Amino acid sequence: MSPDVRTTVWFSGGGTGGHLYPGLAIARALVRLRPDVRPHFIGALRGIEREVLPTTEFPFTLLDLHPLYRPRVWKNWRTVRGAVGGWGVLSRLARDQRPPLVVGTGGYASGLTMFWAWRHGIPVVQHMGDAYPGLTARLSARFTTQAYLGFPEAAATLPQGRCAYVDTGNPIEPPPDIHPDQRMARERWGFPASARVLLVFGGSQGARAINKVMASWVDAGIPRDLCVIWATGKAQFAAYAPYDRPDVRVVPYLDPITDAYAAADLALVRAGMMGTSELSAWGIPMILVPLPTAAADHQSKNADVIARAGAGVHLRQADLTTASLDATVRGLLDDGIRLARMAAAARARGRPLAAQDIATRIERLLSEAAAR
């Protein structure tokens, strides 16, 4: 068996970016540690991985996988058909690649591969990014060797026994070792060096509810000494581009986002695992407006955990109004001591080296398996 085949590691997950991008970060960190390892990604034809994986350096296989259709149970024939067909594809792929380990990164796209690996005696490890892990993560934890937690609080909701839960944080692009100068970052946005800056974003697609209230707040009048970096999402940018002005910079998305993080005193965001992890690593206090339709309301659970840690304020979407946003922002910016404590609490939760930490643990497992 050649070294290339022997060191092929399957990464399985996707459906959404929150389940795919952590896997990519871990895979890249693992290759840096072990250049002989070849990650192979397995995902769903209908997930974001269909668009993203062809742009990466990694080989991949996409299966006709579907989630469990709980409200519309009559559609679950697709789930069963996809699982049966996918099982055969995995068996054929394994005959060529013989993976010694499978890394699951969550979402319905990861469940079948992890279950296949368990049934064939292949060790499984997982990354679980949210404070309340999804159904796939909770079920597969019963046969997982190690699980790397984005939120340490998640361990309380998971089955105890075989799996070792490790508080690693979520794999993100870490802040530079030397942070950019905040005053210079503000000047790059055209803001006064002494300005206070609010960063607003709602993920790659934007957040309609946040955008709507932001527009109303700008119309009503934001604090005089406040400047705003507002990423609307590509699909919604045209509707809000007219709000762009010297103190309110409106952009479709932030890529790279470093200058925005470096300039910000405070952020208004959804409560997704990756955005909140990046903000924590940068030490930026958060006003969190969870997406109420997120699966199992997991964003609300993320927001609760961050708020209890003192790193953010949980503002329900139902309570998000022009008046409540204005009062919350003014209250935080006018209380420098509280804002500094929130920033410190965010930094305390930050895990900027999570990808490297997870990759090191996976490499250790690979070395132990090779030695047996």
Encode pLDDT of 83-123 as tens digits: 888 899 999 999 999 999 999 998 888 999 999 999 999 99
| pLDDT at 71 exceeding the cut of 80 | no
Q: CB within 8 A of 257, min separation 6: which ones?
A: 278
What is the predicted pLDDT for the residue at 204? 64
What is the predicted pLDDT for the residue at 299? 95
182-349, superfamily in CATH?
Answer: Glycogen Phosphorylase B; (3.40.50.2000)
**Nearest CA-CA partner of 161 in 176, 177, 175, 143:** 143
Where does CATH 3.40.50.2000 sit in the chain?
3-171+353-371, 182-349
- SS3 (DSSP) at 251: strand
pLDDT band at 5 (very low <50, low <70, confident <90, very high): very low
286-310 burial by CB neighbour count: b if 16+ within 10 A, else e? bbbbbbeebbeebbbbbbbbbbebb
| Average pLDDT, integer, range 318-332 | 97
21's tokens = 């991008």
What is the predicted pLDDT for the residue at 6? 58
What is the predicted pLDDT for the residue at 1? 39
Compute the mean pLDDT over every residue in the chain, rounded to the nearest whole number. Answer: 92
pLDDT band at 165 (very low <50, low <70, confident <90, very high): very high
- SS3 (DSSP) at 312: strand
Separation of alpha carbons 304 and 299, rounded Å: 9
How many helices (H) and strands (E) are present in the chain, helices listed first? Answer: 15, 13
**Which sign does the torsion angle of CA 268, 272, 278, 284 carry?**
positive
Separation of alpha carbons 204 and 254, rounded Å: 9
- Please identify which residue in the block is written with the tokens 């089955």: 159
42: Cα within 13 Å, side-chain hemisphere: 29
**Nearest CA-CA partner of 101 in 2, 28, 8, 21:** 8
Phi, psi (rounded to 5 degrees) for 290? -65, 150
What is the predicted pLDDT for the residue at 16? 83
Give 298-309 pLDDT, tens digit per residue: 999 999 999 999
CATH class belonging to 3-171+353-371: alpha beta
Q: How far is CA 246 from CA 87, 196, 222, in A?
A: 56, 14, 13
| pLDDT at 70 exceeding the cut of 90 | no
Separation of alpha carbons 186 and 264, rounded Å: 8
| Average pLDDT, integer, range 40-65 | 93
**With pLDDT > 70 as the criterion, what percentage of the chain qualifies?**
97
| Average pLDDT, integer, range 268-295 | 95
pLDDT band at 17 (very low <50, low <70, confident <90, very high): confident
